[in-house]
A and B are shown apart, each in its own frame.
Chain A
């Protein structure tokens, strides 16, 4: 089934934040940010700016009626810098004017005097100086110090992996309008309406019931609007509350890139030990997460790095340790994979290093160590319904990897200028918020007495197709066509206390809640029909009541009207919380994930060894969807996630200088994949599996896992570079830009 939004999207009729019709008198807000990365603010002079044409007011920390605090996990992030700034791009003031242009002109007139302080941009440097967001955490399994003696081979190394700009094509934005009695409505382009609501209430010093957040859809999120849509919504809410006027902000791209955090860069040290038959016996890894200047979601991201430090491999002795390091960069945040990709990158690098040293293909080591049913991961979860080997073997067989490998070897033997590289990337990704208390959702369903249905859940549509999946649940349960059902905006008045749409769990959590609501309503409607067909089995399908499989003359409309006249409740609000999951942080053990998603990808790349450029010939994937409830949407998630992962590993390069200034600050200097840079072929085969009871309709979560196939792109390029320049040691430092490729091709030992 095609995404239900597609028709409006292609006709330009879908409404995003900046498309909401502005009320008369709407004012525009422009954040004014720090131009140094760490300093005391000695003085702030707004006078000239305040007197400029079109300026209504300029707000600073002193104008905040409640708390100047928007930190979600830790209260360490002021809305407006107060006395000190900790990163370039930190907002100091909010300029309100009658147009964005006026605000921009006024911004040039604001004078700030800074007393500059030392700037740290590197995670390891921050760790040395003991600048940490939270104390370090360690996951342990077995006993590594004893295990090293059982190893025939031990390798150590370091990896570095850069961050990633979300580059949602719709920038951040929000629009606040006053309501009566001091309450307020804010349209926000956010993945987490409740988080926005909570922070607006905190900063304004009003109860949450006075704050309504409404989200129709996002023009892309990818994690970048999970926590970091909040400040902008709070700012326009503050201005609107103080001025009693509608206030809007739709950020300029360069402001967005400069002021918001990104995927976390990580540095890591690893030590891996193997037996002579390539079994990994022990693995130690220390991750240095570059968190930026405030916690944001970094502690949770760091946690997922630890959860995924051994990817799809069973290793009996593990120590995985992580530091969340505080630097003078914008607070880094959620991004598809949420620290998992960074964790997996290191184990893959460790395996490649071992393989290169031992003169075998990395695939030999990967395959020898894939997880199976009953394996215990470092955090204590015993894996069940494991599809790692199934995915691997299907991938090798269905795409005839052996022939592909022979072809590549032959190509490299007969070509001096072009070299091909191969890499296989298995994945194993845990589904659930790792913070157990967040794994719940609600759905509200009204059946109106004309037979039309309206649905609200906590899920936010951002292109991933969650609304389409919600619609499928409703239409399948009630046996009615699509046009009968409307999926409404995500709104905190209709569905409260929601978790953000994140962690790939949006469809599972909200879908399960919605399914419960629909089943409850369906049961009540069937009971109405049962009165007329007392002994029959009642079904609802094809807009009719079926009795014992035979259509009756009671239509859906008749049934709804009968229920209505019999005073049967036609609304339902259901609550779902994921069973079976638990986690004890004091022991770092538990069962945090409802289930895991598996799959394997084979990358083939061709490197032009003269120019240092590369093209991906193909990526062949076998993926464990369970029983996919929507193949069109799920395949789209695989292709899109893969390409985003390849972008992260290849051409997307975030550059901060040593003073914390973002150098790659626009689309002209930060390059995401275009239509010519994606693999020539992407093939997807659905692994035939049973799915999982905790996945909605046994259709496994699909948002984040495919991004991690992209990691293989890095190692495929490395494989090709090695074919050209075989006897030199290369650093592991992603992304593998054409620059790094050329430098490695001609590196001398």
Chain B
């Protein structure tokens, strides 16, 4: 049995676990305000909120319900647009959208309202940047977004005085969410039922499997791992960071230690998908997917990360991530193993990290080429380097030769130019929807140069390289 609150109502269902939350909401519960746009997490029309009880308090996040397996809602509060409606007036997000003409055909609108309400619920220091970020997974084809930006700004103004001590009470009192939100935590804590699965195919957030294999899910024997407490958590010990497999990108983008250690951490991770996908997409899923262009895989390869695999007998082994990929979507992993942890050294004062990604659209897109690098320096000399690149071959590529070459070299244009020549010998891009081979090779060069221009602005200028 799966139990959760859907808006103001307790749901108990024995629907097949492979049912998407979207289908359940629309066709079992007949809540048609949540729309279907693409069924692959790329438009946000189906965005709902999922609230979890954490340390006695509700925490809400936006998710794309089309990619959310029903079990991932177990013991949660699922909020659709109907559950945000106030009895006698518009809520604040709705009013802002109406006042600013942020809705035209209206089909994407409930998704926007959910994302905006999620922002209202979760923000601790409202800003226009945060408001826009909250709706970065919502596509609108009518408005050109300017009116929606104005609505987001208006909402942000109204949130300026949000009471952080009693946030829910304040949000209810000020018409952001309906009254019943105040009682959800208590009601949720009363669900004691555990949900058990023991399938063969592990699934985390579902953000890839539900896109690639939507039609086959009915017949799959899935093992739901999302939000399992023993698989969750980010820990630090002796300069090392360990992330467990159910950790999401959103968990990492907000991690204070990493934000401190890596100057552009937030900006890099903003390039990974969109807010609702980051909220549910797991790091282990990104690695196990084996996509040659997985953003997080490329980041972790350059951090020289190791993965820990654990089988059903609870026997673990660990190996460097760069040895994990044997061929296109072929992994150094047995069928009964799952990724249980990823470890990497947290960059120190002498270790610099950079991530680059270029795609057709800067955000919420898959890279044509993505690239990462870690460079440890001693004065003007490179002591250690790890470079990686995606979209340039059948696997997410750790650039072994290029990385080795850089060691003990001086940071100067000559070094980078010679390294780039070597780099090209490590690449084998193909022409596809994300670009021609010639483009990917040129882009690989540019992004490799971009690393050094970004990391050593006093030593390396674009004019020195091109």
- Which A residues lie at the B interface, using CB under 8 A? 2-3, 5-16, 18-19, 21, 101, 104-105, 167-171, 217-222, 250, 252-253, 416-417, 462-465, 609-613, 632-633, 635-636, 639-644, 651, 653, 655, 663-664, 666-669, 671-678, 682, 737-739, 742-743, 746
B156-164, B169-177, B432-440: which one contacts chain A? Answer: B432-440
Q: Given A18-B32, A219-B106, does the pair A10, B98 have CB atoms closer than 8 Å? A: yes
Residues of A within 8 A of B43 (CB): 169, 667
Q: Does B80 contact A (CB under 8 A)?
A: yes
A253 x B37 contact (CB < 8 A): yes
B241 within 8 A of A: no
Whether the Cβ atoms of B101 and A220 lie closer than 8 Å is: no
Distance from B191 Cβ to chain A, minimum over Cβ atoms (Å): 26
Chain A residues, Cβ within 8 Å of B30: 21
Q: B360 and A651: CB pair below 8 A?
A: yes
Tell me the bound Cα distance from A734 to B456 in angstroms: 36
Give the contacting residue for B148; candidates A218, A675, A676, A677; CB below 8 A: A675
Residue of chain B at shortest CB distance from A641: B144
Shortest B344–chain A CB gap in Å is 26
Contact (A220, B146) CB under 8 Å given A253-B40, A464-B104? no
Distance in Å from the Cβ of A77 to the closest Cβ of chain B? Answer: 26
Q: A10-B90, A643-B144 are contacts. A105–B215 as well, Cβ < 8 Å?
A: yes
Contact pattern, B 310-329, Cβ under 8 Å of A = 1, otherwise 0: 00000000000000000000
A169 and B108 within 8 A (CB): yes
Assess A6 versus B101: contact at CB under 8 Å? Given A169-B45, A611-B447: yes
Q: Which of A10, A169, A640, A651 contacts B361 (CB 8 A)?
A: A651
Interface positions of B from 434 to 466, Cβ below 8 Å from A = 434-436, 438-439, 442-443, 446-447, 449-450, 453, 462-463, 466
Question: B233 on the interface (CB 8 Å rule)?
Answer: no
Which residues of B in the span 123-140 have a Cβ within 8 Å of any Cβ on A?
A: 132, 135-136, 138-140
Which chain A positions have C-beta within 8 A of B110? 9-10, 12
Q: Would you call B33 an interface residue if the criterion is a C-beta within 8 Å of the partner chain's C-beta atoms? A: yes
A613–B358 touching, CB < 8 Å = yes
Contact among A219, A663, A673 with B432 in the assembled complex (CB-CB below 8 Å): A663
Q: Is the CB of A3 within 8 A of B101?
A: yes
Q: Is the CB of A253 within 8 A of B39?
A: yes
Known: A10-B113, A169-B37. A636 touches B32 (CB 8 A): no
Between-chain CB contacts (< 8 Å), 17 pairs: A9-B106, A12-B85, A170-B37, A218-B105, A219-B105, A220-B141, A609-B462, A610-B462, A611-B356, A611-B358, A636-B143, A639-B144, A641-B144, A664-B433, A674-B361, A675-B149, A677-B361
Q: Is the CB of B435 within 8 A of A10?
A: no
For A16, what are the chain B residues with a Cβ–Cβ distance below 8 Å? Answer: 35, 107
In the complex, A104 Cα to B148 Cα: how many Å?
Answer: 37
State in angstroms the CA–CA spacing of A663 and B431 once bound together. Answer: 12
Residues of B within 8 A of A250 (CB): 36
Task: Tell me if B153 is interfacial: C-beta within 8 Å of chain A.
Answer: no
Which residues from chain B contact A220 at a C-beta distance below 8 Å?
Answer: 105, 107, 141-142
A169-B35, A220-B142, A746-B442 known; A5-B106 Cβ under 8 A:
yes
* A675 / chain B contacts, CB cutoff of 8 Å: 132, 135-136, 138, 140, 145, 148-149
Determine the chain A residues whose CB is within 8 A of the CB of B105 once the complex forms.
Answer: 168-170, 217-221, 462-463
The interface residues of chain B lying within 8 Å CB-to-CB of A8 are 106
Find the residue from A12, A644, A655 having the highest chain B CB count within 10 A.
A12
Q: Are A743 and B438 also in contact (CB < 8 A) when A613-B362, A639-B146, A674-B363 are?
A: yes
Specify which chain B residues have a CB less than 8 angstroms from the CB of A610 in the assembled complex. Answer: 446, 449-450, 453, 462, 466
Q: A464 to B85, alpha carbons, bound, how many Å?
A: 25
Q: In the complex, what distance in Å separates the CA atom of A8 from the CA atom of B107? A: 11
Once A10-B97, A12-B81, A416-B462 are accepted as A-B contacts, the answer to whether A671 and B360 lie under 8 Å apart by CB is: yes
In the complex, are the beta carbons of B104 and A3 less than 8 A apart? yes
> Which residues of the other chain, A, contact B432 by a CB distance below 8 angstroms?
663
CB distance from B429 to the nearest CB of A (A): 12
The 5 closest A-B pairs by CB, nearest first: A12-B33, A463-B105, A219-B107, A9-B106, A643-B144
- Residues of chain B within 8 A (CB-CB) of A739 are 360, 368, 435-436, 439
Point out the residues of chain B lying under 8 angstroms from A635, CB to CB. Answer: 101
Residues on B with C-beta less than 8 A from A669 are: 366, 433-434
Report yes or no: A668 in contact with B40, Cβ–Cβ below 8 A: yes
Across-interface contacts of B113 in A (CB, < 8 A) = 10, 12
Interface mask (B329-370 → A, CB under 8 Å = 1, otherwise 0): 000000000000000000000000000101111111110100
The reply to whether A678 and B145 form a contact with Cβ atoms under 8 Å apart is yes
| Distance, CA A671 to CA B146, complexed state (A) | 18
Residues of chain A within 8 A of B443, CB atoms compared: 611-612, 742
Chain A: CB-nearest residue to B31: A12
Nearest Cβ distance between residue A613 and chain B, in whole angstroms? 6
Which residues of A are found within 8 Å of B436, using beta-carbon distances? 739
In the complex, the answer to whether B33 meets A612 with C-beta atoms within 8 Å is no
B348 shortest CB reach to chain A, Å: 28
Q: B40: which A residues are within 8 A, CB to CB? A: 253, 666-668
A9 to B139, CA, bound (A): 15
Q: Which residue of B lies closest to A684 (CB)?
A: B146
Bound CA span A21–B98, Å: 26
- Per the bound structure, the CA–CA distance linking A738 and B99 in Å amounts to 36
Known: A10-B90, A677-B362. A170 touches B35 (CB 8 A): yes
List of A residues within 8 angstroms of B377 by Cβ: none
Is B94 close to A, CB under 8 A? yes
Which residue from chain B places its CB closest to the CB of A252 in the assembled complex? B39
Contact at A612–B35, with CB atoms within 8 Å? no
Extra contacts besides A612-B446, A613-B362, A668-B42 (6): CB < 8 Å: A14-B106, A19-B32, A101-B215, A169-B141, A610-B446, A738-B360
Q: From A220, A635, A641, name the one whose CB has the most chain B CB atoms within 10 angstroms.
A: A220
Complex interface: chain B residues within 8 A of A653 (CB): 360
What are the interface flags for B167-208 relative to A under an 8 Å C-beta threshold, 1 for contact and 0 otherwise? 000000000000000000000000000000000000000000
Instruction: Report A-chain residues with C-beta under 8 Å of the C-beta of B362.
Output: 613, 676-677
Q: Which of A9, A673, A742 contacts B109 (CB 8 A)?
A: A9
Contact in complex: B142, A2 (CB < 8 Å): no
Kindly identify which residue among B33, B80, B142, B211 contacts A13, using a CB–CB cutoff of 8 Å. Answer: B33
Return B217 CB to nearest CB of chain A, in Å.
10
Q: A464 to chain B: which residues have CB within 8 Å?
A: 104
- Please pick, from A11, A673, A743, the residue contacting B94 in the complex, using a CB distance under 8 A: A11
Residues B98 and A6 in contact, CB atoms below 8 Å apart: yes
- A746, B218: Cα distance in complex, Å: 50
